[in-house]
Amino acid sequence: MDDVRLIEVKEDILADNAEAADALRARLGRDGTFLLNLMSSPGAGKTSLIERTAEAVAGTLRLAVLEADIDSTVDAERLLARGVHSVQLHTGGLCHLDAAMTGQGLAELDLAAWDVVILENVGNLVCPAEFDTGAHRSVAILSVPEGDDKPLKYPLMFRTVDAVVVNKTDYLAVADFDLAAFRERVQRLNPDAPVLELSCRTGDGLEAWVDWLRGEVDAIR
């Protein structure tokens, strides 16, 4: 009878993606371009926040967008209509972006011409959290109508990001959303991540978000 042998492997499953992500950050660093990975569930306000951010930094930061969508160009067209330079990435049915796909999208941009590139990830609180895209910072948006319990249901997402944005605060008056409970849930997972409350519709709170972003852009330069 053949003997069963035990082989030590001790290898990280996502090591190749981590290497590709580090290489991407190095490439971005050569041109001084800051890459932000923006994640949320569908409809939480990723595209709206990008529109608002583009307005706020116009004239001071040159901003381009990588739009990931499973199979549509709706968001890219919406941004182009507002004059925001946008590259469409089709994920071909995949539920997330990894560093290789992000690299393909960045290859379509002249990086030296942009200070900030925002990667609008696929709308989903599960899969995108698992993969390092090569971005310098990652942010999750949670909108008030989704409920304050989401950090309990999607802990990895709220764990992996550098900041959490609460959007649609104009709905707070009509929603059973407990901001203090939400903040505590985020803090248990991710004590260092700031929680930034804003409304893309009214513009409330946007200044603090833009200040945070500017600070992070400066930090990599």
Residue 5, CA atoms < 13 Å, CB-side half-sphere: 4
Does 42 bind another protein (CB under 8 A)? Our answer is no
Does 187 bind another protein (CB under 8 A)? Our answer is yes
Residues 104, 123 contacting (CB under 8 angstroms):
no
Interface residue with another protein among 130, 170, 178, 216 (CB under 8 A) is: 130
Interface residue with another protein among 58, 107, 113, 126 (CB under 8 A) is: 126
Does 11 bind another protein (CB under 8 A)? Our answer is yes
For every residue of 168-187, which 3-state class applies, written as one string?
CHHHHHHCCCCHHHHHHHHH
Residues in contact with 185: Cβ distance below 8 Å, sequence separation at least 6, in sequence order: 148, 149, 151, 152, 158
Does 26 bind another protein (CB under 8 A)? Our answer is no
Does 10 bind another protein (CB under 8 A)? Our answer is yes
Residues in contact with 65: Cβ distance below 8 Å, sequence separation at least 6, in sequence order: 50, 54, 76, 79, 84, 85, 86, 87, 117, 118, 119, 120
Contact string 44-83 vs another protein (x = CB under 8 A): ----------------------------------------
Does 7 bind another protein (CB under 8 A)? Our answer is yes
Does 4 bind another protein (CB under 8 A)? Our answer is yes
Interface residue with another protein among 149, 184, 204, 211 (CB under 8 A) is: 184
Q: Which of 18, 37, 1 is nearest to 157 (CA)?
A: 37
**Contact range with another protein by CB under 8 A, out of 38-46, 54-62, 104-112, 186-194:** 186-194
Does 180 bind another protein (CB under 8 A)? Our answer is no
Does 23 bind another protein (CB under 8 A)? Our answer is no
